[in-house]
Structure 1
Amino acid sequence: MEYSFFSLSQIDSWFFKESRAMDPNESIHSPVESLFPPPMSTTIGVMRYAFACANGWKGLKTWSKPVNCQSEQASNDLTRVLGDGPPPAIGSLRFLGPFLRKNGKLYFPLPLHYVAEKEQWYRYVPGPRVTTDMGLTCLPQLENNAAPTMPLHKMASASGHFIAKDDLERVVSGAPLTGNMVFSASDFWETEQRIGLGRTEERTAKDGALYTTSHIRLHDKQEEVDIVVGVAGFEDLHRPEGLYTYGGEGRLAYIAPIDVPSDSLFFPNAVKDEAKKATFAVALSPVYLESTAENAATNLHVLPDMACQINGTVANILTCCTKEPLSFGGWDSKSWQGTQIRSYIPAGTVLFFKDPLPFAPATWGEMGNNAECGFGSLLFGTLFNG
């Protein structure tokens, strides 16, 4: 499927609220943190809103009612293509991302099987089977030739670091990771605290309702940083361009099409080839496993020795390198209430396969539920150069 890509550029700061409830008894010095990169549910919302506005929706209530559109045909087209409810009820649309872009290059979370001692990066690989509280299972261990001088628990994690698309293609094809390939969050954005004041229904100040939020401000001087999202399945609808509300507290984003071929911006699609051998995959976006989502911790516990479908092929997961699950929900503007908070395996998670899969390294595939919403995008890799 051919994707068209869009940029979301920042006008001021952005705020994407985490799933933790705001407690009025907390000190205003404990800010509500912002998720970043933003959740796909929020990005899907603004993209559907932008497409609807660009194609005859008046912005009033649901576009499934002709009275709210310029014509009955426009209402029918929007409902068929955009859907009529919160994700995954998104019609014929499919999404990729959102991903960071800096000076025209895409950046992705650094794979979580890397750890660092100063500027030297080491790699985890599957180790022997051992008995744990999960039973007999395989746990990751450092490569045999790794010789760090500090204890593992003091080494830097890959979490919170990013790598450019071209460099990620190299390392998943077996090349070593070097320090100049790795970027921290501060290379793309800074956080800044904002103090807000709750209001009454009469729009006057409410006593004791001060709160603090942590906003995201992208670098915008010598470095142009924005968000990129891929969209497919919008048929003949006009592509949107303009200012739209994005995230919390009425923040804005300028949405514009990116007029470059998708194969030059993103990874090639994985095609089954028995001559190719992928020994692991990196999650480019959060992964949603519906059957294990009721318990956040279960998302991680089931990964070792789990069998799952990846690009229509059965994959047996030997072990993984990951971190704590993500939790976020969304907003249903049709029923005017929040959606269910769900748990996701974070982007950057590395899944090692028990048996190699017939896909070439540095090609992308999908796993898990709600892949049409951008979840579960994977990049295949091999531990061996050549």
Structure 2
Amino acid sequence: MSQVVAEFKQVDSWFFRESRPHGSVGANALNSVFPPPTRTLMGAIRSYIGYQYFAQYNEYNWDNLDNLPQLQAVIGHAERLGSVQPRGVFIKRISGKDTTYYLPAPSNICEKFEQDKNHYLAFKLTQKPYQTDIGHIHLATLPEKVEGLVDSRGFKPLENTWISTQCWQAILEGDISALAKNSHQICKLDDFINSEYRLGIELQTDFSKENVRSVKEGQLYQTTHLRLAPDVSVVMPMQYDADDLSQVGNEVLAKQATLRLGGEARMANVQFLTEQADYLPKAPKQFTQTQSNGKKRFMLYFISKLIMQNGWLPQGFTQNQAQNGFDGNINDIAMTIVSACMGKAYREGGWNQLEHKPRPIENYLPAGTALFIDVDESINDSEIIAKLHGKTYLDNAWGEGLMLVGKVIQN
């Protein structure tokens, strides 16, 4: 598979509607989610490829898609993707000659500002399991004593935070001290975006009535648009089959384009970067730690959302009371989830353009979810890296559950 990075830059403000409906109780304005949902960005890319194809073969249009196997092989159809598949959505910032990629911060890292500087700690597991409402499991906790600080009270998880690839590399190596040295590369959303509040009017869209597209009396709504900082763009790495793409046109992903993107069809410039981009940190060569029970433990991070199954668990995992965890298999690696650190569930719906109706709202594990994993001692580190690091959960075509592996952090 070949790789390319789609970089989206703003022409106008953007709006990516949250899952909450208009007029919901206790709220006046609809917020915009950030980063843009993968489905929204892929919808724009797939439409762009389709229009490029129809420009070459003007005897065809979207009504002929069912009878165009070459085009379908590239962009897919309705809910099914073709060979062009995303691998996460991240942030890119250019400062002078320096280019920095930012990924969602892991949920096992906590921050506290004291003595005129930021301090960072990582959750660790309790020595013994506790009986909870989800079973007999080890809990994640902060150390009671911290060198250089009175105590660990006041530390909070990194929410709505993005950290650089360099900081992520230190986390995977288990070196949390590097975060304080590079705190300028740990950014909140406000460092990347500004909010703009807009007032809209609902239109009459029922074609069975008169005055179609006239204003509905009293139907006002408020939305929150996003404006990126001048040096910030959104990037979506993609993989594709070069042979399939050649049937549509080799230059399709080698051009710059202006697209309609998100709610209200706001404009965006997109360019396709073919050079190798180091947006993902590398896995440490040796990162597992042998436990007293003979198992090997490491951290597994999801840097893109993943659909929940059976409560909060990823698909295919079931509880194992004997092991005080949850057993399952990811990409042919048998493992046990000992404990987890995660933020609030991410909810996403969207719009079904083919059938002109909303898509069902589903719950996802949020990007940044951190899992404490145990595997059998017979599984070596290189095998884990080959099957998990930089790969998606069960080879998800939408890039959901993009994984990183690293050491358990010792504060």
TM norm structure 2: 0.79
Alignment of 1:109-258 (within 5 A): 109-118=104-113, 119-127=118-126, 128-143=128-143, 146=146, 149=150, 152=153, 154-176=154-176, 177-178=179-180, 179-201=183-205, 202-220=212-230, 224-235=231-242, 236=246, 237=249, 238-239=252-253, 240-258=255-273
C-alpha contact 1:276 1:358 (8 A) present in aligned 2: no
Helix, strand or coil: the match of 1:180?
A: helix
Other-structure match for 1:345: 365
1:379 equivalent in alignment to 2:404: yes
1:9 aligned onto 2:9? yes
User: In the alignment, which residue of structure 1 is the partner of 2:102?
Assistant: 107
Does the CA contact (< 8 Å) of 2:331 and 2:395 recur in 1?
no
Aligned 8 A contact 1:281 1:380 in 2: yes
State the Cα deviation string for residues 298-343 of structure 1 (Å, max 9, x = none): 6699798222333321221110110111111222222222222111
Shift in CA distance, 95/253, structure 1 to aligned 2, threshold 3 Å: same
Letter in 2 for 1:231: M
The match for 1:69 is: none
Pair 1:83-2:76 in alignment: yes
Q: Structure 1 residues 302 and 150, CA, compared in 2 at 3 Å: closer, same or farther? A: farther
In the aligned structure 1, how far is the partner of 2:150 from the partner of 2:7?
A: 43
Displacement after TM superposition at 1:286 (Å) = 0.4
Higher mean C-alpha displacement, 164-173 vs 306-315: 306-315
Structure 2: distance between partners of 1:245 and 1:216: 15
Match 1:94 to one of 64, 85, 99: 85
Letter matched to residue 183 of structure 1:
C
**Secondary structure of 1:212's aligned partner:** strand
CA deviation string 1:97-124 (max 9, x = no partner): 1111111321011111111221111110
User: Aligned residue for 1:313?
Assistant: 333
User: Once the 2 structures are TM-superposed, how far is the Cα of residue 276 of structure 1 from its aligned partner?
Assistant: 5.2
Cα 1:42–1:19, aligned 2, differ >3 Å: closer, same or farther? same
| Partner AA of 1:190 in structure 2 | N
Q: How far apart are residue 150 of structure 1 and its match?
A: 6.5
Give the secondary structure class of the aligned counterpart of 1:226.
strand
Please list the CA deviations of residues 27-81 of structure 1 after superposition, one character each: whole Å capped at 9, or x if unmatched.
6xx2101111111111221111122222236695445156xxxxxxxx3211122
Structure 1 pair 194–122 and aligned structure 2 pair: CA distance change class (3 A)? same
1:64 aligns to what?
65
Cα drift, residue 261 of structure 1: 1.3
Q: Do 1:109 and 1:163's aligned partners in 2 also have CA atoms closer than 8 Å? A: yes
SS of alignment partner, residue 84 of structure 1: coil
SS at the partner of 1:55?
A: helix
Residues 52, 63 of structure 1: 8 Å contact kept? no
Contact (CA 8 Å) 1:112, 1:158: kept in 2 or not?
yes
- Secondary structure of the 1:3 match is strand
Mark the CA change 1:307 to 1:62 in structure 2 (over 3 Å): closer, same or farther: farther
Moved more, 183-192 or 327-336: 327-336
Mapped partners of 2:256, 2:233: distance in 1: 15
> Is 1:266 aligned to 2:280, yes or no?
yes
**Percent identity, aligned pairs only?**
22
Offset at residue 359 of structure 1 (A): 3.9
**Which segment is superposed worse, 277-286 or 8-17?**
277-286
One-letter identity of the residue aligned with 1:100: I
Indicate the structure (1 or 2) with the bigger Cα radius of gyration. 2
What letter is aligned with 2:15?
F
Single out whichever of 139-148 and 41-50 deviates more from structure 2.
139-148
- Change over 3 Å in CA distance of 1:209–1:359 after alignment to 2: farther
- Unaligned regions of 5+ residues in structure 1, if any? 67-74
Secondary structure (helix, strand or coil) at the match of 1:174 reads coil
> Compared with structure 1, are the counterparts of its residues 25 and 353 closer, same or farther at alpha carbon in structure 2 (3 Å cutoff)?
closer
Partners of 1:38 and 1:7 in 2: how far apart? 12
Q: Distance in 1 between matches of 2:66 and 2:37?
A: 28
Quick one: distance in 2 between partners of 1:21 and 1:371? 28
1:149 offset after TM fit, Å?
4.4
- Asked if structure 2 preserves the Cα contact closer than 8 Å seen for 1:288 and 1:369, the reply is no
Distance 1:261 1:311 in 2: 25
CA contact (8 A) 2:4 2:239 kept: yes
Determine if contact 1:241/1:256 at 8 Å carries over to the other structure. yes
Shift of 1:195: 0.7
User: d(CA) in 1 for partners of 2:380 and 2:199?
Assistant: 53
Deviation at 1:144, TM superposition (A): 6.2
Change in Cα spacing, 1:265 to 1:112, as seen in structure 2 (3 Å) is closer
Aligned residue-pair number: 361
Question: Structure 2 stretches of 5 or more lacking a match?
Answer: 206-211, 289-296
**How much is the aligned-residue C-alpha RMSD, in angstroms?**
3.0
Change (3 A) 1:174 1:2: farther
**Alignment TM-score, normalising by the size of structure 1:** 0.84
